[in-house]
Amino acid sequence: MAWRGNLDRLATRVNLKRRNVDIPSVLCPFCEEYEETVDHLFTTCSVTIRVWADVSARCNIPPIFAFEFKDLMDIHNSIQAGKKAKKIILGLAIFSCWCIWKGRNELVFNQIRRSPQDIMLEIKSRGFGWVKNRSSCKNISWKEWCNSFVPLPV
């Protein structure tokens, strides 16, 4: 998904329209204010801006400001951290994009609206499994993860 996003090949409404797919609207399903492009959906939509603010606060990194999808895939390079931490931040950025895309698809195909908090809870819970099983942090416990990744008040 991240690879396709980087190439602007995700099936956003604008990309579908560009391919002559008959769709009722090109507006973003989350905010319904702007055209749904890859860059809008993942960086400037009011819903995803709140998700990125939450991710940066919970990961104790500077606020994430991205103008293009590619900026999200390079976010780890702008953070002063060790190689291991940068790898985890990149993984969480990719994983967060996947959770945003999944939330978008649930809304488009099943009419289930996920709030930024719902998306964040999925990032937290499924992100733990990813970090524990795909990184060198195999010894991290759920309690340790929750202490460093605690829900912010609504």
pLDDT tens track for 39-77: 999 999 999 999 999 998 888 888 888 999 999 999 888
Residue at 154 is within a domain: no
For tokens 């950025």, the residue is 93
Residue at 72 is within a domain: yes
pLDDT of residue 112: 97
- Report the number of distinct structural domains present in the chain: 1
Residue at 45 is within a domain: yes
Q: Each residue of 24-39: b (16+ CB within 10 Å) or e?
A: eebebbbbeebebbbb
Residue at 124 is within a domain: yes
Report how far residue 28's alpha carbon sits from residue 14's, in angstroms, rounded to the nearest whole number: 9
Q: What tokens does 101 get?
A: 């895309």
pTM of this prediction exceeds 0.95: no
Per-residue confidence band for 143, with pLDDT thresholds at 50, 70 and 90: confident
Which residues constitute the domain of residue 120? 2-148
Residue at 153 is within a domain: no
Torsion angle defined by CA atoms of residues 71, 76, 142 and 122, in that order, rounded to the nearest 10 degrees = 0
